[in-house]
Structure 1
């Protein structure tokens, strides 16, 4: 049994805290708002995000970062990308010298364009290789229901990855390790852009052909940018690439798919985000990735089309027409193009 802190009481943080508690760990789930803490501790559920599922006895909540983190052997950070730096600063004073930090955040920091593990190391330079990322096809609604789920934990340190793997893995939550932190983080971030596009395609009334093409060409874009940024191309054929892409583009659990679907039905972005009531990581990630594509000189037509829809007011149907009317090329050439 280990003492574990989970920082972030959204649906994903709560579901992962439940996995860790099911494995016999002593888990403290940090939530910023006292009413969330009270509800979890007294009613044994997260009423806002996962109201129909009871939480295991080994999971308790707190609004004190010191109580959560002090003495914890593992700190799991599951907050939106725009909040991660500030939250890590709150964690830092209580972080033990041997503690591992695993993040489950999918996105980039918008201002710096840094990956989440880079932000963590920048804020806690002494952390060294005790950082990992958890990613893969994993809806919180299914994890909390103990439905079979398989994810990957990536770290530059094999020991860090293996320790984290041992704390998470169980009969319904299978965990693989991977040394490619860059690829796992980029796959987890960029699949949200393609999921927005998949939802938009469905909202426009297009069929399976269009969505299959979007996902396939989206995977090519992810791989092109990822390899330019130092990732291993094979990672994008695994759980953090194809796996996460499939589940996020095809499931109604996916908030990015749902946001895209509303956009395809003609709703304005501001209205969509207000209606969702939750962070839609793909929106900020599209803005960041458009800048990364320019910086690394990588052609990403799907990302560019979605950027124009989201931030330049382009009509979704016109964006699709622009994609379909691009110049003739070879598929092999497109896959390899930087």
Structure 2
């Protein structure tokens, strides 16, 4: 694959080389009960040097990651546009708009609604972006004057989506707004990770990836705990695609459940959805193996299997006969699969890849097609070879690597 080839020159010769220069770790243990059955898990603060972290976004995921880092004794600031949220959070240590039942650690300070000051940003060791993809370009543009490539904080992105107008992944948005040198060290976290389970310290694992292996390692060390395990990698394009595309297939799984279909159908959709995601990713230029990771099949399985998923919920309500407009107005939070479906349709058409499930979701969302009618059309397709990754392409990833100065 073009992306795999392009990135191969970035891989360090050995783990010893990779870890050189990184801070030594001192591990301190304490016991925490995480289960009514009496199961006890060892927990520890992994990094001896504590970091100052600024989280952009105070939704479910931004809040839970802020709590995770704050509970590990890091100093955390969490920015929100809502003056009410900021005031309420700082007074009661509760978020009135996300994870309302959870009491957050006192080491988090909410800031806003004004955009964070240059002095605050420059004092941070880590900038964590937990905002919808459509807001990343605006946020980075506002931050650019304060970002110095020579003294750059660790930049971590946890959003999952495609910018609709440009069809750009976040990596490309970073390159466009901040330049290729900053994009090359940006880190991405993705995987099966519901926020409400993370704050309960339910064991969770995620993929942590960057074009710079040392930055992925630093982010992994920042977040890693026994209940929040991190696995590093170097295919951010594949991880970004997987994180965005799985939301569309979660809508499909929700539609099937809303129509009354059960476990066999869900397993079919997850498996065939994974096949589509892998074909699309391979044609784009990502490694097909990335779609077998936590950020790929792991996140797809979780999102397609639980009503906790906003995208699954959108699909379920569509299958039950509700209109999309009514669902969006009453959902109370962002379901990125709705907007991603539009960008995905354009990408699939451009790449010439067969993706009937994704196309079906687009037709229901944007062409006004009836869910039962479109489901019947999909079920009436002729049989095909099950495993077929004989797709050509890689042009989008190659163009992005060229933009970053990493073309082979």
Task: Using structure 1 for the length normalisation, give the TM-score.
Answer: 0.97
Alignment of 1:203-214 (within 5 A): 203-214=258-269
Structure 1 or 2, whichever has the larger Rg, is 2
CA contact (8 A) 1:85 1:123 kept: yes
CA contact (8 A) 1:299 1:337 kept: no
Alignment of 1:72-221 (within 5 A): 72-96=124-148, 97-125=151-179, 126-221=181-276
Q: Are 2:66 and 1:17 equivalent residues in the alignment? A: yes
Alignment of 1:50-61 (within 5 A): 50-61=99-110
The more displaced of 216-225 and 166-175 is 166-175
> What whole-Å deviation, never above 9, does each CA across 1:34-92 have from its counterpart, x for those lacking one?
11111111110112111111111211110141264222111010101111111122222
| Residue in structure 2 matched with residue 331 of structure 1 by the alignment | 386
Query: Residues of 2 paired with 1:336 and 1:261: CA distance?
Result: 33
| Residue in structure 2 matched with residue 247 of structure 1 by the alignment | 302
| Residue in structure 1 matched with residue 95 of structure 2 by the alignment | 46
Greater RCO, 1 or 2 (C-alpha within 8 Å, sep 6+):
2
> What whole-Å deviation, never above 9, does each CA across 1:183-218 have from its counterpart, x for those lacking one?
110110000001000000000001111111111000
CA contact (8 A) 1:223 1:236 kept: yes
Q: What is the root-mean-square deviation in Å for CA atoms of aligned residues? A: 1.3
Query: Residues of 2 paired with 1:48 and 1:99: CA distance?
Result: 28
Query: Residues of 2 paired with 1:53 and 1:132: CA distance?
Result: 28
Query: Residues of 2 paired with 1:217 and 1:296: CA distance?
Result: 19
Query: Residues of 2 paired with 1:45 and 1:328: CA distance?
Result: 53
Instruction: Give unmatched runs, 5+ long, in structure 1.
Output: none
Instruction: Give unmatched runs, 5+ long, in structure 2.
Output: 1-49, 393-408
Query: Residues of 2 paired with 1:297 and 1:325: CA distance?
Result: 21
Q: Secondary structure at the match of 1:152?
A: strand
Query: Residues of 2 paired with 1:147 and 1:94: CA distance?
Result: 37
CA contact (8 A) 1:117 1:132 kept: no
Query: Residues of 1 paired with 2:234 and 2:185: CA distance?
Result: 13
Q: Are 2:278 and 1:223 equivalent residues in the alignment? A: yes
**Structure with more of its chain in helix, by fraction:** 1
Question: How many aligned positions are there?
Answer: 337
Query: Residues of 2 paired with 1:17 and 1:9: CA distance?
Result: 9
Q: 1:283 aligns with which of 317, 328, 338?
A: 338
CA contact (8 A) 1:129 1:160 kept: no
Task: Using structure 2 for the length normalisation, give the TM-score.
Answer: 0.80
